[in-house]
Amino acid sequence: MSLGPIMLDIEGTELNADDIRRLQHPLVGGVILFKRNYQSPAQLKALTASIHAVRQPPLLISVDHEGGRVQRFREGFTRIPAMRELGKIWDRSPKQARHLATQAGWVLAAELRAYGIDFSYTPVLDIDYGNSGVIGDRAFHRRTEAIADLSYAVMLGLKKGGMAAVGKHFPGHGFVAADSHTEIPVDERLFSKIEEEDLEPFRRMIDQGLVAIMPAHVIYPKVDAKPAGFSKIWLQQVLRKHLGFHGMIFSDDLSMEGASVAGSVTERALAALTAGCDMVLVCNRPDLADELLANMQWKMTALSMARVARMHGKPHPPSLDQLHEDADFVKALHEVATIGIAEGDLQLAER
């Protein structure tokens, strides 16, 4: 059975009968984990093994694990700083910031891969205009040059750890104040202004080999009346043709308020897939997941299937014990721990 175009969450720290029933559905292709699914490293390893055992080829396993306030697994994992901290270092020393960004990406990916996670939805490529509370310090910087610089370095680290990068939230969520989890954000700017700034980090990352992107549940009415994730203009004309992106497109969570303009959950999923998404996410609403699985009909193209297959993590990742025997990895752990510590504090800590 090939993987399908729907990614779902699960209820707890181990699979129950309802989880297994949903994950065995041919329309399902992956699982996204949340904080509620994590208890300990050993429990996580058992959980991911049980998910991979549900079917062949194994379902993708993903997580939002960016660092800062968006880090689902904490106890037993390295604290990854908010990406804004790397932007602050970039202001003083771009070279040092790039090095630390690569180290952070490597640690993040290697630890997740050691426990069976295929990929994380990171890095955030949004510009920090100072308007958006939901983006805030998740963004690297206000300057597009810094965002492109640091996100590429993080992508190199993720790759070193055996994981693909997922750039978000196309074409940019940083300008609007509204939170698409609870509202329907509207960005009134002209396309020319968005292209001049917000698209630049995406353009640079695409040129450097970015393999996956997640669009925003934001409406840009000067371009299209539909949110970007449901828009053929944004996904097919701008992202695919104008920017030349040939990789994987994930929808953002279809349970979010920003997706409600597209109708029922089935209408939302079909709208996203028709617009150009390869896989759609439905989170935190098992009732909507059941409704979608019961009602949606969709045949994935061979191209989408190939894109999905490329999201599997590097096979046979090192265990955490093996990583901690690697001197370079231990050095990376130490360096990541220094991110966000002021230089004076760091000097005191190292005495």
Residue 170 · residue 239 · CB < 8 Å:
yes
* Active site residue ranges: 181, 252
The mean per-residue pLDDT over the stretch 269-290 comes to 96
Cα–Cα distance, 168 to 135 (Å, whole number) = 11
Residue 64 annotated as binding site: yes
Q: Round to whole Å and give the CA distance between 61 and 147.
A: 27
What is the reported pLDDT for 2?
A: 87
Produce one character per residue of 233-262: b if its CB has 16 or more CB atoms within 10 Å, e if not.
bbbeebbbeebebebbbbbbbbbbebbbeb
pLDDT, tens digit (0-9, with 9 covering 90-100), for 235-259: 999 999 999 999 999 998 998 765 6
Q: Which residue has the higher pLDDT, 167 or 2?
A: 167
Q: Dump pLDDT digits (tens) for 142-162.
A: 999 999 999 999 999 999 999
Do the strands 6-8 and 279-282 form a parallel or antiparallel pair, or are they unpaired?
Answer: parallel
Statement: residue 132 has pLDDT above 90: no
Greater confidence (1 vs 306) lies with 306
Structure tokens that stand for 240 in this block: 């695919």
H helical segments located in 127-197: 144-160, 191-196
State how far the Cα of 335 lies from the Cα of 337, in Å rounded to an integer: 5
**What is the structure's pLDDT at 179?**
67
- Residue 341 has a pLDDT of 66
How is the beta sheet containing 166-170 ordered, strand by strand? 119-120, 60-63, 28-33, 6-8, 279-282, 248-253, 212-215, 166-170
Q: What are the φ/ψ torsions at residue 253 (nearest 5 degrees)?
A: -60, 120
Determine phi and psi for 29, rounding to 5 degrees: -125, -10
Is 169 assigned a ligand-binding role in the annotation? Answer: yes
72 known member of a binding site:
yes
* pLDDT tens column, 106-120: 999 999 999 999 999
Q: Lowest mean pLDDT of 31-40, 310-319, 336-345, name the range.
A: 336-345
Percent of the chain with pLDDT over 90: 87
**Does residue 84 surpass a pLDDT of 70?**
yes
59-73 pLDDT, tens per residue? 999 999 999 999 999
State the angle between helix axes of 144-160 and 199-207 in degrees (0 to 180), rounded to the nearest 10: 40
**pLDDT for the residue 257:** 67
Q: What is the C-alpha R_g of the chain?
A: 19
The SS3 assignment for 71 reads strand
Average pLDDT, the chain: 93
What proportion of the chain, given as a percentage, has pLDDT over 70?
A: 95
Span 171-186, average pLDDT = 82
CA atoms of 262 and 254, how far apart (whole Å)? 9
Which CATH code for domain 6-349?
Answer: 3.20.20.300
Sequence-ordered list of residues with C-beta below 8 angstroms from that of 323, at least 6 positions apart, any chain: 110, 111, 114, 329
